[in-house]
């Protein structure tokens, strides 16, 4: 009986995990206002600027979204998939609070 209850609880909790919206970067950039606060998954090339130090992901059409949450130096100039909560505000612009990042190689 305990095993059945444990299995049911496990499946219930797994169903509660939010799934990211998988979107092309140009869609994330274009629909920033409606995506604010949502879990997204997108891809592009990581770029950086030194002063002030910041990182972003961009596509071939130069759509850009900032990356926050960790040191992304090792990913610069690499194709990546990022997942995290998308944010949009007047002071900081568009960015993703990254929870996962992986290279596409």
Q: What is the pLDDT of residues 33-85, one digit of tens each?
A: 999 999 999 999 999 998 889 999 999 999 999 999 989 999 999 999 999 99
Which residues lie below 8 Å from residue 36, measured CB to CB, with a gap of 6+? 86, 87, 88, 89
Is residue 10's pLDDT more than 60? no
Is residue 1's pLDDT more than 90? no
> What CATH number should be reported for the domain whose range is 20-103?
2.40.50.140
Count CB neighbours of 61 within 10 A: 10
Give the three-class secondary structure for 4: helix
Q: How confident is the model at residue 20 (pLDDT cuts 50, 70, 90)?
A: very high
């Amino acid at each position: 009986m305990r095993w059945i209850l444990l299995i049911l609880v496990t499946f219930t909790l797994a169903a509660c995990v939010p799934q990211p919206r998988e979107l092309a970067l140009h869609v994330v950039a274009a629909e920033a206002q409606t995506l604010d606060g949502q879990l997204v998954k997108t891809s592009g090339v990581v770029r950086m600027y030194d002063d002030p130090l910041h990182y972003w992901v961009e596509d071939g059409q130069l759509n850009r979204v900032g990356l926050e949450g960790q040191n992304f130096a090792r990913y610069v100039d690499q194709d990546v998939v990022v997942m995290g909560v998308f944010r949009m505000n007047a002071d900081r612009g568009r960015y993703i609070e990254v929870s996962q990042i992986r290279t596409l190689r």
